[in-house]
Structure formats: structure tokens, C-alpha cells
Amino acid sequence: MKKFFPILFASILMFGCTTQQIQETVSAVLGSTMGDPTEQEAGNGLKEALGVGIVNGMGLLSKADGFLGNDLVKIPWPEQATQVKDAMLKLGMQKQVDNVTTSLNRAAEQASGVAIDVFKQAITQMTITDAMNILLGGNGTATAYLKRTTTTILADKFRPIVNTSLGNVNATKYWGDATTVYNKIPFVKPVNTDLTGFVTEKALQGVFLMVEKEENKIRENPLARGTELLKKVFSFADKNKK
């Protein structure tokens, strides 16, 4: 088997196959050499894959610039406060605007790390039936399961962390300064935004987006399946897509 793969890849490269053709070829070879997994193997493989996705996704989000430097999840100003930002920019307060944006994202980065333990708990409680439905359900199915089973718990855990983080990174001060300046403008409607609730909601959206991205990468790319169990299980899933 080990000798076969260099020959396989050399042949693929020689004939100029596309990335999709390469993935399909590798998936077919893995499936034909390993056989179908048992339900227990399928369940364990799915849980392993989710663990990989969660660790990878949360690792990216919880580091510095995990939110701020990623346009997919970067947290903007609250929609109802865009007029505040626009007014401040007209007053030459770019630095103050940037301070708010940075601090919102820093708070989300600090909160996102707690999601790992919550997700792991949800995975351990997953039944074989859940695992098989997820395995054969296609892109995003696992993420949908985690949304359904963890969103309320995560929101409860995120909110106090976000609230504390907003204070630690001076978001509360920056936001207070911004809204104070804006609310002093004649004839404008005062802005009162639940900043903690806003960041919590956006942080959760970013968390699930990154988990889904990692889940789909493992489903779609045989080369991203790092263990023999993952290769066997997802080769089976490839052959039995709903």
C-alpha cells in the first residue's frame, strides 16, 4: 500500500489531472482498499473529524486577530450605529473608530476559546444514529447539529466573558466616548446599543462559520483526512452521499 501511493500520485501528475479528479481518485483508492466501516467506527470517525474541525477552527479564532484579521468573521460596528461611525469619520476621528472596531473583535477572540469544551461535551453525547445521519448528510450537517445542541449554552457562557473582555480591552470606554460625541450632535436620535449582546451574537456566528469551514474541508478533500480512520469513514460517506 505504501509503495502504491507514490506511483498513484506520479501517474496523476503525469496526466495533468484537476484537483477534483485527484480527490476523486484518492477517495476511490482509499475506499477500495479499506472496506466499509462498522457503525462504531463511523461514529468514532465522525467524532474525530468534528474534534479536528473544532480545534482548528477555534485555534484560528481565539488567537490575536482571529476575528479582526479574518474578513469572514470580522465584527463590524452594530448596524444601528453606522451613523455614529459616519459622523465620527466626518469629524476626523478615524483613530477612535478603529479603536471601537478593534476592541469589539478582541472581545470575541477572548470568548471563542471556551467553545471547545462545550463542543466536546456535545460530541460525547452524540448517538450512533446522530453520527450516521451527520456522516451521510453532507456539508454543514455536523455544524447544524452543534448549533442545535450548543447555541444556548454557548451564548450563556460567551456573554459574561464578552462583557468582561469589553472592559479589559477598553471597548466600553471607546464605545461610550463614541456615542457621547454622536449623541451631542443636534437633532440626532440617541444611540443605545447592547454592545455585549451584539458581540456575543457575532462571535457565535463566527465560531459556527469556522467550524463548518473545517467540517466541509475534511468532507471534500481526502488529503485533509489525517488518520486511517478518517480516510475509511469519509471514503464510505463519499460512496453513500444522500
* Confidence (pLDDT) at 79: 80
* Crossing angle of the two packed helices 195-220 and 39-62, in degrees rounded to 10: 130
Q: Where are the alpha helices (DSSP H) in 91-140?
A: 94-112, 115-124, 128-135
* Crossing angle of the two packed helices 141-168 and 39-62, in degrees rounded to 10: 30
Give 74's contacts (C-beta < 8 A, 6+ positions apart): 67, 68, 105
* Domain positions in the chain: 1-34, 38-239
- Tell me how far apart the alpha carbons of residues 238 and 202 are, in angstroms, rounded to a whole number: 33
- Tell me how far apart the alpha carbons of residues 59 and 71 are, in angstroms, rounded to a whole number: 16
Query: For residue 197, how many other CB atoms are within 10 A of its CB?
Result: 14
Count the alpha carbons within 13 Å of 214 in the hemisphere toward its beta carbon.
Answer: 22
Check pLDDT > 80 for residue 31: no
Tell me the per-residue pLDDT of 81-135, one tens digit each, with 9 for 90 and over.
788 788 888 889 898 889 889 989 999 999 998 998 899 899 989 888 898 888 8
Q: Where are the alpha helices (DSSP H) in 63-93?
A: 82-90
Of 177 and 153, the structure prediction assigns the larger pLDDT to: 153
- Tell me how far apart the alpha carbons of residues 162 and 68 are, in angstroms, rounded to a whole number: 15
Contact 169, 161 (CB under 8 A): no
* Grid cell in block for residue 223: 488529503
> Whose grid coordinates read 470517525?
45
Least confident stretch, 36-40, 56-60, 80-84, 93-97: 80-84
Check pLDDT > 60 for residue 30: no
Say what the pTM is. 0.74
Contact 114, 161 (CB under 8 A): yes
* Grid cell in block for residue 37: 466501516
Of 180 and 165, the structure prediction assigns the larger pLDDT to: 165
- Tell me how far apart the alpha carbons of residues 99 and 96 are, in angstroms, rounded to a whole number: 5
3-state secondary structure of 54: helix
Check pLDDT > 80 for residue 163: yes
* Grid cell in block for residue 134: 451527520
